[in-house]
Chains A and B, each alone.
Chain A
Amino acid sequence: MQELKCVVNGKNVAIMIDPSHSLADVIRYDLGLTGTKKGCEEGECGACTVLVNGLPVDSCIVPAMKANGKNILTIEGLEQNGELDPIQEAFMEAGAIQCGFCTPGVVLSAKALLMREENPTKEDIRDELSGHFCRCTGYLQFYDAVKLASEKIKSRKNKEKK
């Protein structure tokens, strides 16, 4: 067992973990944050995507100890004061969720993209989401959702300015 110290969804975490475990397993079983899904468990499907220091990674193939000293964002960390993140709202409104299994990962990749690029092009969205499998939506709704989210984020910012 080894001590893992990191920040998860804005909170300091210090726990003893098995260093042979993946980050996905520690997030799900040690921290109880089951919003992170395990699909293929070989870094192909993207369901387990979380952000490490703002960058999307497949947590199923990341050794958990690699999170040491890092800032981890999972799907549970997106809501603020009981309100959904604009990206989550946009995914609901655009019909970009069906069974929901791939959704947490896709939303987090969208989050990383929108943190870096306020007005992503269709190509930017395609590239950023290219590491996700979705067997329900047909992917097109993802474009709509990310575009809509980008509008929502901008209008929220404008409101805050006023």
Chain B
Amino acid sequence: MKKVEKHLFPKNVKEAVELLAEYKGEARIVSGATDLMLWIRDGKVSPSVLVDVSDLPEMRFVSVSDGKMSIGSAMTHAEIAAHPDVKRIFPALSDGCRSVGSPQIRNIATLAGNIVSAQPAADSVVPMTALGAQCELAGPDGTYMRPLCELSKKVGESYVDPTKEIITRIEIKIPSGKYGTAFKRIAPREAMALPVVNAAVMLEAEDDGTIKAARIVASPVAVVPFRAKNAEAHLIGKKASPKLFAEAAEAAGAEASPRDSLVRGSGEYRKVLVKDLVEQALIQAASLFA
């Protein structure tokens, strides 16, 4: 079996992209490595070179300016969970990041890794999808932006090719008016357990409380993070109220079709959980602008 022969530390993103090109598919980007080490052991992937971007200063920051938050994609889940700006501006994201794995995983696993690993219920990707995050990618043809929601392909596979390109930055627009975000999750235990269902929402409202934009995401309900579009549509143009949120949650439960899973529970049970978690999340998000 092929194994890792070199673990390289490029000085910047440019050098990292050049190394990937130089090794023509034999090299692979590594950041936290918490998933990658397991895949290598299981023989799912067999890179001979690892290009480590976890310490690149260009990918290690959180900044807030011009109405948007920019996050270096090598930030760890622990760092994002504890970051005061993230907590204040996008609590759904800090709460999601706090739910990943255990402290030992969160201390090293990165946001970009969570995106590229493409587990549909990834606890940081679900809130980032609800927040409408955009990702900056650097590859052989330069850098470009892609919406996060277009990067998930199927379970365990994203459209980002880690042998060619790197997610360098995540950008999230901060609404100028009233808004709120929330993340909810249910799992067999609080640590080291994959979610049975998780849900994240973002609501934007007029000054009088009329909902003008909504994103509702629930997982794992499909092979990629699932947008409850009927539920979202139901909210638009109406005044926030417990009744409205109950109706939207009902719609989200109805349009979600989680499958029966020996690990996560029956589809029927999880449909009810989607409804309940979406309702809780909507109420919590709305409480932030009420």
Q: Which residues of A contact B (CB under 8 A)?
A: 2, 19-20, 22, 41-44, 46, 49, 52, 55-58, 60-63, 65-66, 68, 109, 127-128, 130-132
Known: A19-B50, A20-B3, A130-B191. A63 touches B30 (CB 8 A): yes
A18 to chain B, nearest CB (A): 8
Is the pair B107, A63 in contact by a Cβ cutoff of 8 Å?
A: no
Pairs across A and B, CB under 8 Å, 7 listed? A42-B38, A43-B38, A61-B38, A62-B108, A63-B7, A66-B54, A131-B101
Q: Mark B183-199, 1 if CB is under 8 A from A, else 0.
A: 00000001110000000
Known: A19-B6, A20-B5, A130-B103. A61 touches B191 (CB 8 A): no
Q: Within the assembled complex, what's the spacing in Å between the Cα atoms of A63 and B9?
A: 13
Q: Within the assembled complex, what's the spacing in Å between the Cα atoms of A56 and B104?
A: 5
B191 to chain A, nearest CB (A): 3
Is the pair A56, B34 in contact by a Cβ cutoff of 8 Å?
A: no
Interface residues of B in 4-27 (CB under 8 A from A): 4-7, 9
Q: Within the assembled complex, what's the spacing in Å between the Cα atoms of A127 and B98?
A: 10
Query: Which partner residue on chain A sits nearest B5 by CB separation?
Result: A19
Is the pair A56, B107 in contact by a Cβ cutoff of 8 Å?
A: yes
B211 to chain A, nearest CB (A): 34
The residues of A that contact B41 with a CB separation of less than 8 Å are 41
Q: Within the assembled complex, what's the spacing in Å between the Cα atoms of A22 and B34?
A: 11
Is B52 interfacial (CB-CB < 8 Å)? yes
Q: Within the assembled complex, what's the spacing in Å between the Cα atoms of A44 and B108?
A: 14
The residues of A that contact B108 with a CB separation of less than 8 Å are 52, 55, 57, 62, 66
A125 to chain B, nearest CB (A): 11
Q: Beyond A61-B34, A68-B9, A131-B102: 6 further Cβ-contacts under 8 Å?
A: A43-B37, A44-B192, A61-B33, A63-B50, A66-B108, A132-B102
Interface residues of B in 95-114 (CB under 8 A from A): 101-105, 107-108
Is the pair B192, A130 in contact by a Cβ cutoff of 8 Å?
A: yes
Query: Which partner residue on chain B sits nearest A128 by CB separation?
Result: B103
Interface residues of B in 165-197 (CB under 8 A from A): 190-192
A28 to chain B, nearest CB (A): 16
| 7 shortest interchain CB distances as A-B pairs | A131-B102, A130-B191, A65-B7, A20-B4, A20-B3, A19-B7, A55-B107
Query: Which partner residue on chain A sits nearest B48 by CB separation?
Result: A20
Q: Within the assembled complex, what's the spacing in Å between the Cα atoms of A19 and B107?
A: 21
- Most chain B CB within a 10 A radius of its CB, from A52, A61, A128: A61
Is the pair A58, B7 in contact by a Cβ cutoff of 8 Å?
A: no
Query: Which partner residue on chain B sits nearest A53 by CB separation?
Result: B107
Q: Within the assembled complex, what's the spacing in Å between the Cα atoms of A20 and B192?
A: 25
The residues of B that contact A58 with a CB separation of less than 8 Å are 34, 102, 104-105
Is the pair A49, B50 in contact by a Cβ cutoff of 8 Å?
A: no
Is the pair A62, B33 in contact by a Cβ cutoff of 8 Å?
A: yes
The residues of A that contact B107 with a CB separation of less than 8 Å are 52, 55-57
Contact of B37 among A46, A61, A68 (CB under 8 A): A61
The residues of A that contact B101 with a CB separation of less than 8 Å are 43, 131
Is the pair B104, A57 in contact by a Cβ cutoff of 8 Å?
A: yes
Is the pair B52, A66 in contact by a Cβ cutoff of 8 Å?
A: yes
Q: Within the assembled complex, what's the spacing in Å between the Cα atoms of A132 and B3?
A: 29
Q: Within the assembled complex, what's the spacing in Å between the Cα atoms of A22 and B33?
A: 10
The residues of A that contact B105 with a CB separation of less than 8 Å are 43, 58, 131
Is the pair B103, A56 in contact by a Cβ cutoff of 8 Å?
A: yes
Known: A20-B3, A61-B34. A131 touches B9 (CB 8 A): no
Q: Within the assembled complex, what's the spacing in Å between the Cα atoms of A60 and B105?
A: 11
Contact of A22 among B37, B54, B104, B190 (CB under 8 A): B37
Q: Within the assembled complex, what's the spacing in Å between the Cα atoms of A49 and B190?
A: 19
Q: Within the assembled complex, what's the spacing in Å between the Cα atoms of A131 and B100?
A: 11
Q: Mark B59-93, 1 if CB is under 8 A from A, else 0.
A: 00000000000000000001000000000000000
